[in-house]
Chain A
Amino acid sequence: MKSPLFAAGFLALANLAAAETPVLNVLTYDSFAAEWGPGPAVEKAFEATCACDLRFVTAGDGAALLARIRLEGEASEADVVLGLDTNLTAAAAASGLFAPHGQTIANDLPVPFADPVFLPFDWGYFAFVYDKTKLATPPASFEALAAADIKILIQDPRASTPGLGLLMWVKAAYGDRSDEIWAGLADNIVTVTPGWSEAYGLFLEGEADMVLSYTTSPAYHLIAESDDSKAAAAFDEGHYLQIEVAGKLAASDQPALADAFLAFMGSEAFQAVIPETNWMYPAKTPSAGLPDGFKTLIVPAKSLLIPADQAEAMRAKGIEEWQTALAK
């Protein structure tokens, strides 16, 4: 244990030297902090107001964030966790590691959302994305999809947040009939990938007709690649929401800075960079409106969302049902 101790001592000294500027550690997922993600712009804008040093610490995705914070417990250096979604917030709140934010910030979410512990920063609808040049008539419901000879790629609900989102989508739309829907979808599924990027990569390689992603995915291709061939299929049942949230940790040594950051999340400077860096809808629409590419996207007639505590309660059983239906 000599070298970690030595390193700890060394780092403590190094920290003393830089102690004048307070540091706010934000634990977030990889793609948020990446050079092409919202991270750099957010850091610059927040540091201009806070006289502090904003540092991103990253983990793979929303689920990894929660696992990481539960591993670290109260000893965590992080002050804010940014990037959980509503399928994870119940477990996160139950860990007791988060503190109420105590703020009221208006948002433009399609459903009423008020949580004492977590504040939303962006959101999107799950949807099946397809290539218009290859699939002329996309299905308009899960039942139509199950009946059609259309191949889809999905993510594993045991390993990825979109995969879990799809599970909740089917549950929210069909309730007790969900196992029937999964049994019908079984022969449409080419494969189940561990994460979003594998599935989306395979889709772009032409391995399937549709992939589970977001209604906002076509905006990336349109804006960043000037490619208008991708579209999301509108489903009559409605589309399930993914709401991404942030919360402050109870054991934070910078509670005031953490509060300031959560408040800053609702500001124009933060929200305006979301659409074209995170490719999701901003929680609060910027005054200049959304980028043009976003106006071409489908807008679901109905938004589905299972409340966080119920989602957590039905997860294990839902996964079991999913496994049974697809293992046949």
Chain B
Amino acid sequence: MANSAGKIGAITTSGVAIAAALLVMCLGTLAAVLLRAGDAGFDPADAAAIRFTVAQAAVSALLSVLLAVPVARALARRQFAGRSVLITLLGAPFLVPVVVAVLGLLAVFGRQGVLNTGLVTLGLPAVSIYGFHGVVLAHVFFNLPLAVRMILQGWQAIPAERFRLGSSLGFAPSDILRHLERPMLREVLPGAALVIFTLCLSSFAVALTLGGGPRATTVELAIYQALRFDFDLGRAAMLSATQYALCATAVLLSLRFVQTPGFGAGLDRTAITWGGLGRWHRLSDGVAIGLASLFLILPLALLAARGLPALFDLPAAVWPAIARSLIVAGVCTALTTIAAILLAAAIVQGRFAKMLEFAGMLPLAASGLVLGTGLFLILHPWVAVERLTLPVTTLVNATLALPFVLRIILPTMRKIEADFGRLATSINLSSFARWRWLILPRLRAPLGFATGLVAALSIGDLGVVALFAGDRGVTLPLLVQRLMGAYRMEAAAGVALVLISVSFAVFWLLDWGGRWNADA
């Protein structure tokens, strides 16, 4: 927009190139499956699957976002010992593989879980986790952390000066809400809800395990069935296209709601405690943080306790699996982060912005199964795919993770451009200086969080590895699955604990790196 012509070219070009690569990964693989299938059509039962998928994803997204608001607000305006550690810990459920997390949830909500044991002791009837509510509960468990973090960032992005101004004008909490918080939420909430909605669209194992029966059939399960048992590639491709269409509708809807708040530039000071000083506010904040911590951390703590004894008797395969998982995560994180920053920079420049942003969101709706199958069909004539397990896994993980990084850094990038873009151009800041002194320092916190998220997700992801892995490509989540598949539930719990610890350590390191010295 306001930059010199040459620079627009370079950044926009690289953005377009990345968007094109994403299109190939998402739609190109879909086309490969369709081409191989020859014809395509739906199964009569698919309509019910689509309805169920949309319903559970919508309820899960709404609940996650609504519940996240009080938690994020409490975390944003309270200072207490261990706050930073708690924020990191609350991110954990999002990083844990589904199979593992479901067992953790059952340790709390299952038939023999803590909750039902308590209820029965008190003489109350036991509750069952299985059914629509169970699916939603699990999805909220997975996605609440993401929603909290995205909204918390929104709060922290409101310049401290605005709160000071508000306080000097004698703003009551309701005034803060109206003038500062509500505009921020209007920008952040639709994006967060969209990400979670699309994530839940491709849910498979959670819905099936906790759904209680075939009523809880999701589109992704129908795809799995079409690919695995029916070998009906055409139907799998149609279902995958449906997922994209649903995602596209959601993106368009959410774009209509998004408004960029006009807070203007601040002096990069972090807001300190503001508002909510009354006893009632302190109490409600405490309750919000306490309940969220209990809900998010207890299942994982119980899981960890269970895995502890098996730590002393880990299968030998765990060490190479850790190494492989870390390599995949490292390369994947580097790839995704660079691509997402370039794409975000191109979007901020304004040319093709809508299209670029759309391409950046597309992988969220991708069916991992169809993507993997398509990639397999494309690569197979050229090379033995099982020898490329790790590169292929890395590439697919990087593609699937890009939307997260983009969503997390894009608001900050927009704000930097809006607040400082014209100033930077008017003083002729060179491209290098712009990145070095203006963009990257301000991007550090969201970038730390985003890279931590991608690295951990990549470590915990089973995704396509399961499609391609030979005995030489076993990663940690695959090892957990294999142990579980061979009666070795205790060893699986041990490896799951290793997996959680490794993911979490990597996430912590990167996230902490981003926030280090930034809270001052």
Confirm or deny: A301 has a beta carbon within 8 angstroms of a beta carbon on chain B: no
Chain B, residues 121-148, CB within 8 Å of chain A (1/0): the string is 0000000101000000000000000000
Q: Which residue of A lies closest to B382 (CB)?
A: A4
Chain A contact residues: over half helix, strand or loop, or mixed? helix
Confirm or deny: B80 has a beta carbon within 8 angstroms of a beta carbon on chain A: no
A326–B471 touching, CB < 8 Å: no
B469–A58 touching, CB < 8 Å: yes
Q: Which residue of A lies closest to B227 (CB)?
A: A67
Confirm or deny: A57 has a beta carbon within 8 angstroms of a beta carbon on chain B: yes
A327–B213 touching, CB < 8 Å: yes
A327–B214 touching, CB < 8 Å: yes
Contact among B213, B224, B485 with A196 in the assembled complex (CB-CB below 8 Å): B485
A159–B228 touching, CB < 8 Å: yes
A71–B376 touching, CB < 8 Å: yes
Question: Contacts of A327 on B, CB cut-off 8 Å?
Answer: 213-215
- In the complex, A70→B229 CA distance in Å? 11
Chain A, residues 275-318, CB within 8 Å of chain B (1/0): the string is 00001000000000000000000000000000000000001000
Confirm or deny: A228 has a beta carbon within 8 angstroms of a beta carbon on chain B: no
Nearest chain A CB to B135 CB, angstrom units: 10
Chain B, residues 158-181, CB within 8 Å of chain A (1/0): the string is 000000000000000000000000
- In the complex, A34→B488 CA distance in Å? 12
B382–A191 touching, CB < 8 Å: no
B470–A58 touching, CB < 8 Å: yes
Nearest chain B CB to A129 CB, angstrom units: 11
Q: Which of A107-115, A201-209, A244-252, A261-269 contacts B (4 or more CB under 8 A)?
A: A201-209
A57–B382 touching, CB < 8 Å: no
Q: Which of B204-212, B242-250, B258-266 contacts A (4 or more CB under 8 A)?
A: B204-212
A207–B388 touching, CB < 8 Å: no
Total number of B residues with any Cβ neighbor in A under 8 Å: 59
Chain A, residues 51-70, CB within 8 Å of chain B (1/0): the string is 00000111110011011001
Confirm or deny: A75 has a beta carbon within 8 angstroms of a beta carbon on chain B: yes
Confirm or deny: B51 has a beta carbon within 8 angstroms of a beta carbon on chain A: no
Q: Which residue of A lies closest to B211 (CB)?
A: A191
Within 8 A of A (CB), among B488-513: 488-489, 492
Confirm or deny: A122 has a beta carbon within 8 angstroms of a beta carbon on chain B: no
Confirm or deny: B486 has a beta carbon within 8 angstroms of a beta carbon on chain A: yes
Chain B, residues 441-470, CB within 8 Å of chain A (1/0): the string is 000000000000000000000000011011
Chain A, residues 1-43, CB within 8 Å of chain B (1/0): the string is 1001101100100000000000000000011011111010000
Q: Which of B105-113, B272-280, B410-418 contacts A (4 or more CB under 8 A)?
A: B105-113
A158–B221 touching, CB < 8 Å: yes
B208–A194 touching, CB < 8 Å: yes
Q: Which residue of A lies closest to B107 (CB)?
A: A205
Scoring A35, A63, A201, A315 by chain B CB atoms within 10 A of each residue's CB, the highest score goes to A201
A67–B471 touching, CB < 8 Å: no
Question: Contacts of A75 on B, CB cut-off 8 Å?
Answer: 380-381
- In the complex, A168→B148 CA distance in Å? 47
Nearest chain B CB to A304 CB, angstrom units: 21
Question: Contacts of A60 on B, CB cut-off 8 Å?
Answer: 466
Question: Contacts of A91 on B, CB cut-off 8 Å?
Answer: 231
- In the complex, A189→B467 CA distance in Å? 30
Contact among A4, A217, A279 with B383 in the assembled complex (CB-CB below 8 Å): A4
B209–A189 touching, CB < 8 Å: no
Scoring B106, B225, B482 by chain A CB atoms within 10 A of each residue's CB, the highest score goes to B482
- In the complex, A164→B228 CA distance in Å? 13
Q: Which residue of A lies closest to B212 (CB)?
A: A191
Nearest chain A CB to B501 CB, angstrom units: 20
Q: Which residue of A lies closest to B373 (CB)?
A: A71
- In the complex, A37→B379 CA distance in Å? 30
Confirm or deny: B487 has a beta carbon within 8 angstroms of a beta carbon on chain A: yes
Contact among B204, B211, B388, B484 with A7 in the assembled complex (CB-CB below 8 Å): B388
Contact among B208, B486, B487, B492 with A193 in the assembled complex (CB-CB below 8 Å): B208
Nearest chain A CB to B149 CB, angstrom units: 29
Contact among B211, B224, B381, B481 with A159 in the assembled complex (CB-CB below 8 Å): B224
Confirm or deny: A156 has a beta carbon within 8 angstroms of a beta carbon on chain B: yes
- In the complex, A34→B231 CA distance in Å? 26
Nearest chain B CB to A151 CB, angstrom units: 8
- From known contacts A33-B471, A159-B224, A220-B487, infer whether A4 and B379 are also in contact, taking CB-CB under 8 Å: yes
Q: Which residue of B lies closest to A198 (CB)?
A: B209
- In the complex, A66→B225 CA distance in Å? 13
Total number of A residues with any Cβ neighbor in B under 8 Å: 64
Nearest chain B CB to A313 CB, angstrom units: 14
B316–A35 touching, CB < 8 Å: yes
B466–A156 touching, CB < 8 Å: no
Q: Which residue of B lies closest to A190 (CB)?
A: B130
- In the complex, A287→B112 CA distance in Å? 44
Nearest chain A CB to B240 CB, angstrom units: 15
Nearest chain B CB to A302 CB, angstrom units: 27
Question: Contacts of B81 on A, CB cut-off 8 Å?
Answer: none
Chain A, residues 209-249, CB within 8 Å of chain B (1/0): the string is 00000000100110010000000000000000000000000
Confirm or deny: A72 has a beta carbon within 8 angstroms of a beta carbon on chain B: yes
Q: Which residue of A lies closest to B231 (CB)?
A: A70
- In the complex, A197→B315 CA distance in Å? 18
A8–B383 touching, CB < 8 Å: yes
- In the complex, A322→B99 CA distance in Å? 25
Contact among B112, B208, B380 with A192 in the assembled complex (CB-CB below 8 Å): B208
- In the complex, A217→B130 CA distance in Å? 25
Question: Contacts of A193 on B, CB cut-off 8 Å?
Answer: 208-209
A159–B484 touching, CB < 8 Å: no
- In the complex, A64→B470 CA distance in Å? 13
Nearest chain B CB to A242 CB, angstrom units: 15
Confirm or deny: B308 has a beta carbon within 8 angstroms of a beta carbon on chain A: no
Scoring B102, B106, B373, B487 by chain A CB atoms within 10 A of each residue's CB, the highest score goes to B487
Confirm or deny: A149 has a beta carbon within 8 angstroms of a beta carbon on chain B: no
- From known contacts A30-B482, A72-B380, A195-B485, infer whether A190 and B212 are also in contact, taking CB-CB under 8 Å: yes
- From known contacts A30-B485, A326-B214, A327-B215, infer whether A56 and B231 are also in contact, taking CB-CB under 8 Å: no
Lowest 4 A-B CB distances belong to which pairs?
A206-B112, A197-B484, A4-B382, A158-B225
A-B contact pairs, 17 of them (CB 8 A): A7-B382, A11-B387, A30-B478, A31-B486, A35-B315, A35-B317, A59-B467, A67-B227, A193-B209, A194-B224, A198-B209, A201-B103, A205-B106, A205-B112, A206-B112, A326-B214, A327-B215
Interfacial residues, chain B to chain A (CB-CB below 8 A): 45, 99, 102-103, 106-107, 110-112, 128, 130, 204-205, 208-215, 217, 221, 224-225, 227-229, 231, 315-317, 373, 376-377, 379-384, 386-388, 466-467, 469-471, 478, 481-482, 484-489, 492
Inter-chain pairs besides A158-B221, A164-B229, A197-B99, 20 sampled, C-beta below 8 Å = A4-B388, A7-B387, A31-B486, A36-B486, A37-B486, A57-B471, A64-B228, A64-B467, A67-B227, A71-B373, A156-B221, A159-B221, A159-B225, A197-B481, A198-B102, A200-B489, A205-B107, A207-B112, A220-B487, A323-B45
